[in-house]
Chains A and B, each alone.
Chain A
Amino acid sequence: MAESFRREDEVEEEDEIDDTEYKSSKDAVLFAIEVSRSMLMPRSTSGSKNTSTETPSRAALKCAYHLMQQRIISNPHDMIGVLLFGTEASKFYDEDENSRGGLSYPHCYLFTDLNVPAAEDVKQLRELAEDDDKAEEILIPSKDPVSMANVLFCANQIFTSRASNFLSRRLFVVTDNDNPHGDDRSMRSAATVRAKDLYDLGVTIELFPISRLDRQFDRSKFYDDIIYKTSTVDPEEAPQTNTQTPSAGVDGISLLNSLLSSINSKSVPRRALFSNMPLEIGPGFKISVTGYIMFKRQEPARSCFVWVGGEKPQIAKGTTTQIMDDTARAVEKWEIRKAYKFGGEQVSFTPEEQKALRNFGEPVIRIIGFKPISALPFWASIKPPTFIYPSEETYVGSTRVFSALHRKLLTDKKMALVWFIARKNAAPVVAAMLPGAEKLDEDNVQKLPPGMWLLPLPFADDIRPNPETNLVVASESLIDRMRTIVEQLQLPKAQYAPHKYPNPSLQWHYRILQALALDEDLPEKPEDKMIPKYKQIDKRVGGCVIAWGEELEEQDRNLFSRNSKTSTIAKRPAKAQRLDDDSNEGTPASKKIKMERDGHEVDEVAIGKCYESGTLSKLTVPILKNFLTSQHLPTTGKKADLVERVEEFYDRKG
């Protein structure tokens, strides 16, 4: 126990994030789904073979349900709620049709209050989305029209009371009615005023329009007065991402799918990792960029403690107080000193010195130089990249300069090497800045945005030598057989598509939790889309694999028959460092000097060959050093010096 807590502290020390923002960085999404006769009209699929039907309201509810489930996994502290409008019944907190004093928000039905969802909320929403009986109870359209001003103010009240101080508050409106108030000027202006209130409150309205059977949804009729160009959350958001959301199509399946896809793309508010960071193109020449995390490993939330002493299990919140080892007196923060263990004692620094040691200057992305992407080894990787996109906020003109750089690097397949300090006092890293082209899917929807990617590179301290092993190179005939196998088993489009591979352990974890929370039967078998398609593999390459296996047996017999008995047990002679691929397989190079230092052997023959071919500089520094040591030559200086010294050695030798 104590172990894990200590680790937590250390992590804290490493990423001290400036927590000055007065709003908590949580997100609250309220769905406002219209219930009307047309929204309840089933849309059948266009294909005749499938008879499934879907009403727009139910499709929207399914999306809300889907999003709720997804966010429990991905953003467990974010809030979500569902407000139906246009219903015959009304419900708002403690009032309904029977309450005295009339209704504040007639025909608004707060189905799921805005909150971090509870298991019960998930269950009820699922019933409404999937169970016809349940739906018929509630999804009854009102005879009177609903006032949009009322709907918006209702949402205002929900956000104000439930999601105070949230950095991001969003109202997702799903409707097929592009002109709810027609020419009624007073109703219209009341709605626009309430929309302005929401805007001033910092609530963003996202519209998910659904086309009616007979006509397309026209935003300009009403909604352009309701929706504001810039969201307060993200001033960088381009206008077209708002206006170009395709309105969901006409038939059932594509209705659900396109709604799901457009809601998915908005599922998480875009949060910057850093804003208006200087990107120093060259000394004294800066533009500004904003950084985002695009790939982040999603893990199941850590287990917590649940209090089971009462009727209802409750999550117990732990608070840590730091106490002294000797007297168990609570320690105030100012009393704490940091010290490093060294030689059995502590070496301490003042807090100012601690800070100074980690300070390498102001946050910056500074270009050190450019090189071909091909010069970036595959293994030079330590963690996921950061995505950057230009921002005009500190430097006007940043976008065009960034665009010019982006284009040049894409065309020439080049990358920039950058010095990168992500925030104040963050440890500096050296990163590869790679250009990324925009990628669209079949429907021209953006899959990957255009921009640059910062890939942190390993330092020399992070690079491990290859483990020692024997080298046995397969013969052409064996490789030929393997080539066919590789050829036959290409993934669709010969590409990796992340969205096809949900994380099976993560999904299973939450699937079980959901079942436990709702007191349902546990699912029998997990759905695991990562399991290779064995049947297909056998069908496609089964024969090739068998042919390959026979060839392998044959070669193995030829190569190792003599010493196969001992080879598995006895320690083998140290590996042969051969530089020419054509030499006899499996037979170690005969002439070599063995040096037990740093695990590198010195292969004079190989180095001699390099000398002859003028490729000495391809050798690594340790190999060169070992060679020089073996020849009693100095091993000091830069790599170029070492190479020169080896050359001199051979020159002298003639």
Chain B
Amino acid sequence: MADKEATVYIIDVAKSMGKRHHGRTISDLEWAMEYVWDRITKTVATGRKTATVGVVGLRTDDTSNDIKNDDNYSHISVFQGIGQYGLPHRGLFAAWLRMCRVLMPDLRRLREVIKPSNTNAGDAISSIVVAIQMIIAYCKKLKYRRKIILVTNGEGLISSDGLDEIIKKVKSDNIELIILGVDFDDPEYGFKEEDKDPAKAENEALLNGLADECDGSFATIAQAISMLELPLEKSIRGISSFKGELRLGDPREYSSALCIQVERYPRTYVTRPPTASSFALRSGTSATQADSTQSSATVVPDEETEAEARLTGIRNARIYQIPDESSPGTKIEVQRDDLAKGYEYGRTAVHISQSDENITNLETDQALEIIGFIHNDLYDRYMHMSTCNVIIAQKTNDKAILALSSFIHGLFEKECYAVARLVTKNNKPPLIVLLAPSIEPDYECLLEVQLPFAEDVRSYRFPPLDKVVTVSGKTVTEHRNLPDDDLLYAMSRYVDSMEIVSNNENGVPLDTIPLDEMYSPVIHRIGLAIRRRAIHPSESLPSPSSKLMQVSQPSEEAQARARKHLERLEKVADVKKVPPKTKGRKRNHQADKPLSGLDVDGLLHHEKRTKISSNNTIPEFKQALVGTDNIEGVSDSVNQMGAIIEDQIRNSLGDANYDRVVEELGVMKDELVAYEEPGLYNDFLRRLKKMILQNELAGDRRELWWLIRRSNVGLIDKSVSELSNVTEQEAREVGSP
């Protein structure tokens, strides 16, 4: 929804731009191009058809522009037109659309042509005229944001002939002129080139004057590059998601109902990082074959694009299956045509015929209806469930604006929020929302967020944090889980020392980390990586910029300020890290006891459970392990479990017993890790795998092996138990069938 844009970049490619200066390791042109590439690729990344770009070379060897018959315009070449000159014909419309967007092949071509030339001849002012011509031809009188960006080192001859005319044209056509120079002096930014060539100084002054006259901007390129880290601010015009009545009461029934025409726009809206699509290597090509077979067929011969050319899109193919009643555990495929739309009610399938399609939808009327008011002090801020929207009165309706203003002020003065029912369109599910007044000096609106419904709240209970209630019901206020006065004091001092909102001299609070200066690290990091990769395919990934990561740590100043308070806090808090898993926890281990503390294991050992029965395997296996004190006992239990598991697989109708087997394996694995006997488990699992793969357990049980792999009950490797002689690599290999 942003405005259409036409931007022409004028790039000075003079011979002198190929030189390096002031100890830089790259040439002036390469340096300047950092800026240009970033800007162009940011535009390409938007994928917008209406963001058009043209590129003009200044001081090129050849001349190629529309005014080339005039000597004043020599050594200026249009590298990339913003569009065909003249009105596009209907038939050419598609081609014209493609022309105005910069695409990857264009970028590659530009990369080829933008190189230092063998000449220093060419007039910067003339190149601006060429750019103006391009914009006029392309944009006509249509609404565009017009922009010319000139990047030059300011050397060479610049003629000021006809400058007034040019300024007039730039201003009348509302073109924004930005002039960026290599090593231009900029007192604001704090740069001054020593021993500057007087001719260059003169040119700088001329260009600076030009930019000023045109209401444009003039800066040194270093400053522009330093700003690249900041994401491009883009203004998105929101689309209203609701236009209708704010109501109090029912106007159909009561004459006393209040109705105000309102509109709803997003205030926050989550921007997603670009998503990658899936591709596969084109059929019949493997990585090694491709080089020889593809080269002739590839449209773009660059080597790095070949990899992409070998990729092909992926489609999803879906098949539908139902369980086969006649043979449990198997499925039959059914045709899409025999399927109706439906829902699950528990495990019952409820199908809904096409004519009843909307039968489960609640009938609702589009409106924003007030349910009642609550006091803002009694609202818990963490009940916000959604993004925020603004509600304003109908834009062209002054009476509605006046009416809503009284509502906003009424809420504000009573320190209240409104709870309302919002139906954005007829028959859409109603939302329960909270409306808060927002009054700024120049803007009034309601802010709206969604609240939880009864079903959305999970009532998990937790013990209080300011007291401890013992099992016997006594309340205790001194306890190892409760802070003492020292800790409370140290915490208080620390929290105060890490304050990030400070009041300035006039008592106005100033947030040092304001919301509108925190940028999404994921979005901008991926965006930057894509743009870099597009231009420099062989470079490694850029690391996230410091600007993006500034909110990942407290600022240096805050850390310094808080250091002594933190040290004090750490000391009185006396927090101890729990050492990594205490080894062999199960040996000589005290069994868990019921609330009464009764020694159930005593009772059990009385019975001496060493024989594991097939209908109570897991408890009896665990208890047998607790009851044994030698390796033979453990080994015997494992053997018994193994036999039971094999039996269960053998007797499983289809996959009926598979879950049970996986659970038993999981318990065995955990227990044998704890008993420090990983070998016993690994031996058994290897045996089991062999039996499964050789179909020794009554048929094809491969699906079970797949389940075992997926359920993470494979071999115990070294990372899980130090006593294991299986590496992670081996464990993976044994896992694969």
Q: A38 within 8 Å of B by Cβ?
A: no
Given A200-B619, A353-B541, A494-B374, also A21-B712 (CB < 8 A): yes
Chain A residues whose C-beta falls within 8 Å of the C-beta of B107 in the assembled complex: 343
Q: A129 within 8 Å of B by Cβ?
A: no
Chain A nearest CB: distance from B597 CB in Å? 8
Given A319-B318, A360-B521, A469-B395, also A379-B388 (CB < 8 A): yes
A197: which of B402, B484, B551, B616 is its contact (CB, 8 Å)? B616
Within 8 A of A (CB), among B479-527: 480-484, 487-488, 490-492, 494-496, 498-501, 504-506, 508-526
Within 8 A of B (CB), among A179-227: 189, 192-193, 195-202, 219-220, 223-227
Contact A336 B551 (CB under 8 A): no
Distance in angstroms between the alpha carbons of A398 and B578 in the assembled complex: 11
Chain A residues whose C-beta falls within 8 Å of the C-beta of B566 in the assembled complex: 281-283, 285
Q: A513 within 8 Å of B by Cβ?
A: yes
Q: B10 within 8 Å of A by Cβ?
A: no
**How many residues of chain B are within 8 Å of chain A by beta carbon?**
260
Chain A residues whose C-beta falls within 8 Å of the C-beta of B227 in the assembled complex: 636
Given A325-B315, A376-B381, A381-B268, also A606-B442 (CB < 8 A): yes
Distance in angstroms between the alpha carbons of A504 and B393 in the assembled complex: 28
Contact B319 A537 (CB under 8 A): no
A489: which of B318, B373, B526, B576 is its contact (CB, 8 Å)? B373
B518: which of A414, A455, A460 is its contact (CB, 8 Å)? A460
Contact A196 B619 (CB under 8 A): yes
Chain B residues whose C-beta falls within 8 Å of the C-beta of A340 in the assembled complex: 274-277, 526, 530
Q: B590 within 8 Å of A by Cβ?
A: no
Q: Per-position contact with B for A492-508: 1 when CB-CB < 8 Å, else 0?
A: 01111011111111101
Distance in angstroms between the alpha carbons of A389 and B595 in the assembled complex: 24
Q: A534 within 8 Å of B by Cβ?
A: yes
Q: Per-position contact with B for A17-38: 1 when CB-CB < 8 Å, else 0?
A: 0011111000000000000000
Chain A residues whose C-beta falls within 8 Å of the C-beta of B492 in the assembled complex: 408
Chain B residues whose C-beta falls within 8 Å of the C-beta of A20 in the assembled complex: 712
Given A316-B339, A370-B495, also A379-B280 (CB < 8 A): no
Find the A residue at minimum CB distance from B174: A596
Contact A485 B447 (CB under 8 A): no
Chain B residues whose C-beta falls within 8 Å of the C-beta of A458 in the assembled complex: 268, 270, 387, 515
Q: Which of B215, B320, B480: most chain A CB closer than 10 A?
A: B320
A634: which of B106, B188, B364 is its contact (CB, 8 Å)? B188
Q: B281 within 8 Å of A by Cβ?
A: yes
* Binding site secondary structure of chain A: mixed
Q: A423 within 8 Å of B by Cβ?
A: no
Contact A322 B392 (CB under 8 A): no
Q: B9 within 8 Å of A by Cβ?
A: no
Contact A517 B345 (CB under 8 A): yes
Within 8 A of A (CB), among B533-582: 533-534, 541, 544, 551-555, 558-559, 562, 566, 569-570, 573-578
Find the B residue at minimum CB distance from A293: B458
Chain A nearest CB: distance from B397 CB in Å? 7
Find the A residue at minimum CB distance from B566: A282
Distance in angstroms between the alpha carbons of A583 and B501 in the assembled complex: 31
Contact A305 B401 (CB under 8 A): no
**How many residues of chain A are within 8 Å of chain B by beta carbon?**
287
Q: B457 within 8 Å of A by Cβ?
A: yes
A265: which of B461, B499, B576 is its contact (CB, 8 Å)? B461
Q: A309 within 8 Å of B by Cβ?
A: yes
Q: A473 within 8 Å of B by Cβ?
A: yes
Within 8 A of B (CB), among A471-491: 471-474, 478-479, 481-483, 485-487, 489-491
Interface segment among B130-138, B288-296, B304-312, B631-639: the answer is B304-312
Distance in angstroms between the alpha carbons of A220 and B473 in the assembled complex: 14
Contact A369 B432 (CB under 8 A): no
Distance in angstroms between the alpha carbons of A446 and B462 in the assembled complex: 8
Q: A394 within 8 Å of B by Cβ?
A: yes
Contact B268 A380 (CB under 8 A): yes
B402: which of A357, A392, A555 is its contact (CB, 8 Å)? A555
Contact B317 A320 (CB under 8 A): yes
Q: Which of B524, B575, B596: most chain A CB closer than 10 A?
A: B575
Interface segment among B56-64, B157-165, B349-357, B693-701: the answer is B349-357
Distance in angstroms between the alpha carbons of A165 and B103 in the assembled complex: 53
Contact A375 B509 (CB under 8 A): yes
Contact B471 A482 (CB under 8 A): no
Distance in angstroms between the alpha carbons of A346 and B533 in the assembled complex: 10
Given A404-B483, A526-B362, also A298-B453 (CB < 8 A): yes
Chain A nearest CB: distance from B509 CB in Å? 6
Contact B401 A307 (CB under 8 A): no
Chain B residues whose C-beta falls within 8 Å of the C-beta of A361 in the assembled complex: 552
Given A469-B392, A498-B452, A513-B360, also A538-B344 (CB < 8 A): no
Given A343-B107, A486-B410, A505-B430, also A314-B578 (CB < 8 A): no
Contact B350 A165 (CB under 8 A): no
Q: B529 within 8 Å of A by Cβ?
A: yes
Distance in angstroms between the alpha carbons of A27 and B213 in the assembled complex: 73
Q: B142 within 8 Å of A by Cβ?
A: no
Contact A228 B508 (CB under 8 A): no
Contact A436 B551 (CB under 8 A): no
Distance in angstroms between the alpha carbons of A163 and B419 in the assembled complex: 43
Q: B713 within 8 Å of A by Cβ?
A: yes
Q: A377 within 8 Å of B by Cβ?
A: yes
Within 8 A of A (CB), among B234-272: 235-238, 240, 248-250, 253-258, 263, 265-271
Contact A122 B346 (CB under 8 A): yes
Q: B334 within 8 Å of A by Cβ?
A: yes
Chain A residues whose C-beta falls within 8 Å of the C-beta of B91 in the assembled complex: none
Distance in angstroms between the alpha carbons of A353 and B533 in the assembled complex: 12
Chain A residues whose C-beta falls within 8 Å of the C-beta of B345 in the assembled complex: 72, 119, 510, 513-514, 516-517
Q: B608 within 8 Å of A by Cβ?
A: no
Contact B461 A241 (CB under 8 A): yes
Contact B378 A493 (CB under 8 A): yes
Find the B residue at minimum CB distance from A560: B398
B396: which of A347, A530, A572 is its contact (CB, 8 Å)? A572
B383: which of A307, A396, A496, A541 is its contact (CB, 8 Å)? A496
Chain A residues whose C-beta falls within 8 Å of the C-beta of B384 in the assembled complex: 381, 384-385, 455
Contact A201 B619 (CB under 8 A): yes
Contact A164 B238 (CB under 8 A): no
Contact B592 A324 (CB under 8 A): no
Given A21-B712, A346-B311, also A228-B248 (CB < 8 A): no
Chain B residues whose C-beta falls within 8 Å of the C-beta of A220 in the assembled complex: 596
Chain B nearest CB: distance from A214 CB in Å? 23
Distance in angstroms between the alpha carbons of A473 and B441 in the assembled complex: 10
Q: A329 within 8 Å of B by Cβ?
A: yes
Chain B residues whose C-beta falls within 8 Å of the C-beta of A321 in the assembled complex: 316-319
Chain A residues whose C-beta falls within 8 Å of the C-beta of B258 in the assembled complex: 485, 545, 548-549
Q: Per-position contact with B for A301-341: 1 when CB-CB < 8 Å, else 0?
A: 10111111100011111111111111111110001111111
Distance in angstroms between the alpha carbons of A618 and B440 in the assembled complex: 11
Chain A nearest CB: distance from B539 CB in Å? 11
Chain B nearest CB: distance from A492 CB in Å? 9
Distance in angstroms between the alpha carbons of A546 and B471 in the assembled complex: 60
Q: A93 within 8 Å of B by Cβ?
A: no
Q: Per-position contact with B for A385-423: 1 when CB-CB < 8 Å, else 0?
A: 101011011111111111111111100101001010000
Q: A348 within 8 Å of B by Cβ?
A: yes
Contact B712 A240 (CB under 8 A): no
Given contacts A438-B464, A462-B520, A532-B249, 17 further A-B contacts (CB under 8 A): A224-B595, A241-B461, A244-B473, A283-B554, A293-B458, A313-B342, A328-B317, A339-B276, A357-B525, A403-B481, A459-B518, A463-B515, A464-B238, A473-B405, A498-B451, A559-B398, A620-B516
Report 18 cross-chain contacts, Cβ distance below 8 Å, ordered by A residue. Answer: A117-B347, A119-B345, A196-B619, A282-B494, A294-B458, A303-B343, A316-B322, A319-B319, A321-B319, A323-B317, A340-B275, A353-B541, A381-B386, A450-B462, A461-B524, A462-B271, A464-B269, A556-B398
Closest 3 CB pairs of A and B: A482-B410, A542-B256, A306-B342
